Amino acid sequence: MNKPDPQAIASAWMSQLSDPNHWQSWFRMMPDMNAMPGAALLRDAGAAIRPDALEALKNQYIAEFGALWQEFLAGRAPQVKDRRFAADAWTANPVSAFNAAAYLLNAKFLIAMADAVEASPHQKQKIRFAVQQLVDAMSPANFLATNPEAQQKLIETKGESLTKGLANMLADMRRGHISQSDEKAFEVGRNLATTEGQVVYENALFQLLQYKPLTARVRERPLLMVPPCINKYYILDLQPDNSLVRYAVEQGNTVFLVSWRNPDASLAQKGWDDYTEEGVIEAIRVTREISGADQLNTLGFCVGGTLLAAALAVLAARGQQPAASVTLLTTFLDFSDTGVLSVFVDEAQVALREQALGRGGIMPGRDLASTFSSLRPNDLVWNYVQSNYLKGNEPPPFDLLFWNADSTNLPGPMFCWYLRNTYLENNLKEPGKLTVAGEKIDLGAIDAPAFVYSSREDHIVPWQSAFASTAIMNPGRRERNRFVLGASGHIAGVINSPAKKKRSYWINDTPGIGVDGWLAGATEHPGSWWPEWAAFLAQHGGSEVKAPTKLGNATYKPIEPAPGRYVKEKAE
């Protein structure tokens, strides 16, 4: 029998990849791929690479594949530097090691081909995203037939791991999502969202929570927290040792918090104006009435920060300045660079959403969750496919991942307005460009110092985009603004309690400098950024007064204990 020619194998493989018919066959075999951003571009990507660039890639691939093949024939296990293949089972078997190494080589050149496609920057980003999704899905670690760890466990457990894996998969199919945490271990109100307080107001969109003071004296100006409406608020109040809400209360703040309703058909007509007027502005009004304070410290997280800024700009247009300070956590005000999320936003995709939902309807929470999971598929999808289904493991309890799976719907009109006017057209930052709640708004008219926080590895709000808020807020007095950069990502960077003594953060209080100058001159500090924020709140919180002994007031009496009903409602 003739030995296989590695050069012939590599040459044939590269010829396939450069053939548009090859990509079209992939999409016929995997119909779900057709809905992926960049799918239409990817189907024809092979025809959009310059012949000389393709020839260079082909020659490089042939050389590297040949070297890998020679290692395999010599009985040497190739070096595989990827945590998906770090277990001994991959290197103990030469065939498994070769499969992993060949996969990584193929993935490397698929990405290189995507980068070589002649297209606009946005089209290239979408093509690269689609290729990455395909590459991640085809890892040999994702299939029982090519995963030696799963095969080894199958033998060791005499088939029990496969039985458990199938049971896990069927259970997740009933739930409608892949389990990332032991969901039986947590319950909102029992061991999550347990900071003591009361619901002191509610309408169709939100409940307003007021928390019981934990200090004898408090700052006269309360703190109003506006979480994102695309997630449950209790990310800010997970457990006592990692609760930003509890920390703020412990620092002597009277804390109020917006708990958004999980929209159903009754809210299908609600738009951005409603969330601004009936949501944030109403929460500001009630908080001022209960506390008796003219001004509040305010905080917005992610989309909650965008809503908060819009609401304060509406009030500024009406001649009101209720904010003594504004804290923005991982928030977009300038949507010039939205990172990888931009692959989901172009005129065609937004128009389709508007046609389907713009006049009424519900954007399902499961669709939003799938979108965010696709940004980190190896961490948030395939890792759990391998562990839960192929190996039959039960996911361990993890409060943050339990929260991540607790999806929230959005009203279609609100979602469509947000997509078009922020991600697509970037209108929010332009003074007078948008009319919100009947007012032409200018974010620069908000007269309040700003504390802007971002996370260095944030894949949802790139930190440079969050930094841009420091030029939008207080444009003539940028020295009033502070920017703090934390380690880790969009959620883990925010939820970094001082008690954990983890990670670090960077500060640079030189006013009016650009993003590159800020980073070059920033100083790294170990631990949590929360004490920096607590000092900012104290600076703008006014004098100390006796802590209130009752929550609410004569007009706004307690309705039910925190966390309230709204946060427990599940997305359909």
Write out the DSSP string of 294-361.
S-EEEEEETHHHHHHHHHHHHHHHTT---EEEEEEES--S--S--GGGGGG-SHHHHHHHHHHHTTS-
Nearest to 13 by CA among 69, 74, 80: 69
Find the angle CA(450)-CA(220)-CA(471) to the nearest 5 degrees. 5
195's CB contacts (< 8 A; 6+ apart) are: 211, 237, 240, 243, 245, 246, 249, 562
State the DSSP H helix or E strand holding residue 24, giving kind and residue range, or none if neither: helix 20-29
Distances (CA, A) of 148 to 98, 104, 154, 513: 12, 16, 10, 53
377's CB contacts (< 8 A; 6+ apart) are: 133, 136, 137
Q: Which two tokens stand for residue 490?
A: 């969009």
Helix (H, G, I), strand (E, B) or coil at 210: strand
The answer to whether the CB of 201 falls within 8 A of the CB of 277 is no
Find the angle CA(349)-CA(352)-CA(357) to the nearest 5 degrees. 125
Answer yes or no: 229 catalytic. no
Q: What is the per-residue burial (b if ≥16 Cβ within 10 Å, else e) of 138-159? A: ebbbbeeebbbbbbbbbeeeee
Distances (CA, A) of 102 to 75, 167, 398: 15, 32, 34
Nearest to 6 by CA among 93, 97, 98: 98
| Catalytic residue (one of 302, 324, 350, 448) | 302
Residues labelled as active-site residues: 302
